[in-house]
Chains A and B, each alone.
Chain A
Amino acid sequence: MGDERHYEICVEVNGVARQARVPARKTLVDLLREDLELTGSHVGCEHGVCGACSVLFDGEPMRACLVFAVQADGHKVTTIEGLCRPDGSMGVLQDSFCESHGLQCGYCTPGMLIAAQGLLQRRPDPSEDEIRDAIGGNLCRCTGYQQIVEAIQLAARRAGAGER
């Protein structure tokens, strides 16, 4: 594509090493969606506010629209697709969102799941305030957040009871 310099990168995405050849300005979220055809991560604002693009980067939630793909070279990324079980079925967190009606249009959902996953990894038994703080950087226009909070609370209870 024109004269723009491209870079060879290798990023471990959902446990699999993925190669790509990208211009420096391509963001991580665009790499995931376009080059790797993982369209589960969504683009909402491209300036780091809405959180729809959130992924786990080296295990921690980050906005993938604010990471250049070249910066992800050598790092590990988990997307919403990677939250599924190895056989492709839903994990407890995803299932809890379904049970609690924690989504409507589904557009912010990947980011919410990533933020929730990041929280529950560190705080398996979060308070409601901690949940709202953890998703405070993920905007949703459908749900008013109520059932999302309930979904995360349910997931925490189920995980606490030993469900995997």
Chain B
Amino acid sequence: MKPAAFEYERARTLAGAVARLATHGSDAKLIAGGQSLVPMMAMRLLRPTLLVDIRELDELKLIRIDADADTVRVGACVRQSEALEHAALGEAVPLLAKALRWVGHVQTRNRGTVGGSVVHADPCAELPLVVRVLDAQLEACAASGSSLIAAREFFTGPLSTALAPEACLAAIHFPRWREGACGCAFEELSIRHGDFAIVAAAAQLALDAGGRCTRVVLGVGGAGPTPLALERAAAGLVGTRLEDAAIDATAEQASRDVEPGDDQHASADYRRDLVRVLSIRVLRAARSEARGQSQPGGA
């Protein structure tokens, strides 16, 4: 399984990388960690004629957490292993850390990047789900300039994003929740540890002082052509005390709101039911965490 021939350049700056994409056209691809890209090239499913290597661009490896800012900026080439071990990032965007534990294996996390997984946009992958459910913003950089793309517009189909062929994902801006009592959870059903999810679910919520839910997001992966934020279902929880019955109803709604596909590992019906089951689990887990944080004296 040898890839088709291509040429290789190591970018020295981000500006240089996107300039190269602009001049070479859509047969050029960026490579960073390569954990998603190289297998596809080995199987000749992708045949770029030029690879522009951005893995070593320090400007894409920064994690910026400002105490006052509402978002955390994670450079696209931050390695998954580094993101997982970054204590401050784990505090600021706890859902990301929880999801990262499910991503691949030690070795793939040592090389795979946060941005790479997001741009690869496998609907069963964990990081695209986190980006979508938190409604992060994707900072795209092209020779023509930079722009911010909202997560809800970013994922357009399986393995397909709104990122222009000549653009590079420079960073992901994750929203930071400021509420006092917050909780989040990430769960997935995969056949083996480290595999892509059959279905994954992510939830994050906040409670007011009276224990009522003021804000909640719920998302699933593996249940459609892109990671999905189940806004209609989640909305039903706002204002409730997140009783079991309310969560169950939300999960039922969530499973009705998805149109999953069939494959050798899982039927559409199975995926639909997993959406329900995993939604319950992540909502309950997030609820426990949030309630723990809202106890007097801390969690």
What class of interface size applies to chain B in its complex with A?
20 to 34
Q: Would you call B8 and A62 a contact (CB within 8 A)?
A: no
Output the nearest chain B residue to A60 by Cβ-Cβ distance.
B110
The distance from the CB of A45 to the nearest CB of chain B, in whole angstroms, is: 8
Contact with B along A41-63 (1 / 0, CB 8 A): 00000111001001001001111
B1-23 to A contact mask, C-beta < 8 Å, 1/0: 11111111010000000000000
Hey, which chain B residues are within 8 Å of A4, CB to CB? 5
Nearest CB of B to A157, in Å: 22
Q: Does B87 contact A (CB under 8 A)?
A: no
Stretch of B31-39, B138-146, B232-240, B284-292 on the interface side = B31-39
One digit per residue, 1 when the CB lies within 8 angstroms of any chain A CB and 0 when it does not, for chain B 104-134 equals 1111101100000000000000000000000
Contact code string B43-86 (vs A, CB < 8 Å = 1, else 0): 10000000101010000000000000000000000000100000
Inter-subunit contact B8/A48 (CB<8 Å): no
Min CB distance B69 to A, Å, is: 31
Indicate if the CB atoms of A48 and B38 lie closer than 8 Å: yes
Residue A133, interface by CB 8 Å: yes
* Contact size range, A: 20 to 34
| CB neighbours of A54 from chain B (8 A) | 107
B24 at the interface (CB under 8 A from A): no
State which of B6, B107, B108 has its C-beta within 8 Å of the C-beta of A24. Answer: B6
Q: Are A136 and B105 in contact (CB under 8 A)?
A: yes
A63–B107 CB distance below 8 A? yes
Query: Nearest Cβ distance between residue A123 and chain B, in whole angstroms?
Result: 11
Q: From A118, which residue of chain B is reached at the shortest CB distance?
A: B106
Q: Report the Cα distance A145→B275, complex, angstroms.
A: 33
Q: Is B256 an interface residue (CB 8 A)?
A: no
Instruction: Evaluate contact between A61 and B110: CB separation under 8 angstroms.
Output: yes
When C-beta atoms are compared, the residue in chain B nearest to A119 turns out to be B106
Tell me, yes or no, whether B157 is within 8 Å of chain A by CB.
Answer: no
* Across-interface contacts of A73 in B (CB, < 8 A): 10
The prevalent SS among residues of A at the interface is mixed
> B1, A46: Cβ atoms under 8 Å?
yes
Partner of B8, one of A24, A47, A60, A137: A24
Q: Which residues on A sit within 8 Å (CB–CB) of B108?
A: 48, 63, 137
The residue in chain A whose Cβ has the minimal distance to the Cβ of B3 is A25
Contact between chains at B194 and A23 (CB < 8 Å): no
A7 CA / B53 CA spacing, docked (Å): 14
Q: How far is the CA of A4 from the CA of B4 in the complex (A)?
A: 10
Q: In whole angstroms, what is the CA distance A68 to B3 when docked? A: 10
Complex CA gap A63/B111 in Å reads 9
Is B164 in contact with chain A by the CB < 8 A criterion? no
A71 within 8 A of B: yes
In the assembled complex, the CB of B36 is this many whole angstroms from the nearest CB of chain A, namely: 9
Most buried by B among A71, A118, A134: A71
Judging by beta carbons under 8 Å apart, are A25 and B104 in contact? no
Q: Is the CB of B193 within 8 A of A136?
A: yes
B191 to chain A minimum Cβ distance, whole angstroms, is 13
Write the residues of chain B forming the contact surface with A, with a CB cutoff of 8 angstroms. Answer: 1-8, 10, 31, 34-35, 38-39, 41-43, 51, 53, 55, 81, 104-108, 110-111, 193-194
Knowing that A54-B107, A70-B10, A71-B8 are A-B contacts, what are 8 other residue pairs whose CB atoms are under 8 Å apart, sorted by A's residue number?
Answer: A24-B5, A25-B2, A25-B6, A46-B39, A66-B111, A67-B38, A70-B8, A71-B31
Q: 22 A-B residue contacts at CB 8 Å?
A: A7-B8, A24-B6, A24-B7, A24-B51, A25-B5, A47-B1, A51-B105, A54-B107, A60-B110, A62-B107, A63-B111, A66-B35, A68-B38, A68-B51, A71-B8, A71-B10, A73-B10, A115-B107, A119-B106, A136-B105, A137-B106, A137-B108
Interface residues of A (CB under 8 A from B): 4-5, 7, 23-25, 27, 46-48, 51, 54, 57, 60-63, 65-68, 70-71, 73, 115, 118-119, 133-134, 136-137
